[in-house]
Amino acid sequence: MKPTGPMNPRLIRMINRLEKVSRLNNAAVWKAVADNLRKPTRARVEINLWKIGKYLEESRAIIVPGKVLGEGEINKPATIAAASFSKTAERKIEATGGKTYLLDEYAEENPKGSNIKILV
């Protein structure tokens, strides 16, 4: 049987780092994000900026267990962590004063997973 799930070495390392942060800090949120990333490619999340803008709150970071695409706009600076970003999305987020992180980088910065909102 053909294996499902990630075959990309960078994504596999990201999943392993998220699971490690989850174990060390007893933060189930990072385990849930890693489980979402283990899904087959066609079942992974792809979210456009307009949807992120719809759920954006001042005090929370947005977590996307998949790819952020550049369709639409966001009006406020936001902290967004995702498995990957399109070049357009990254440019638009940084143009508003926001920050982009890869998921494993953000997990190292916020190991408890507090004040985040996961968009699936």
pLDDT at 5 over 80: no
pLDDT at 84 over 80: yes
Name the helix (H) or strand (E) containing 5. none
Average pLDDT over residues 16-20: 96
pLDDT at 4 over 90: no
C-alpha distances in angstroms, 53 versus 29, 44, 73, 102? 22, 20, 7, 19
pLDDT digits (tens, 9 = 90+) for 19-53: 999 999 999 999 999 999 999 888 889 999 999 99
**Averaged pLDDT score across all residues of the chain:** 93
Average pLDDT over residues 56-69: 91
Beta-carbon contacts of residue 89 (< 8 Å; ≥ 6 apart): 49, 68, 69, 70
Query: What pLDDT is recorded for position 6?
Result: 81
Query: What pLDDT is recorded for position 41?
Result: 84
Predicted confidence band of residue 58 (pLDDT cuts 50, 70, 90): confident
Which domains, from first to last, does the chain contain? 9-118 (3.100.10.10)
pTM value surpassing 0.85:
yes
Residue 26 structure tokens: 């007893």
Q: Is the torsion defined by CA of 51, 55, 74, 33 positive or negative?
A: negative
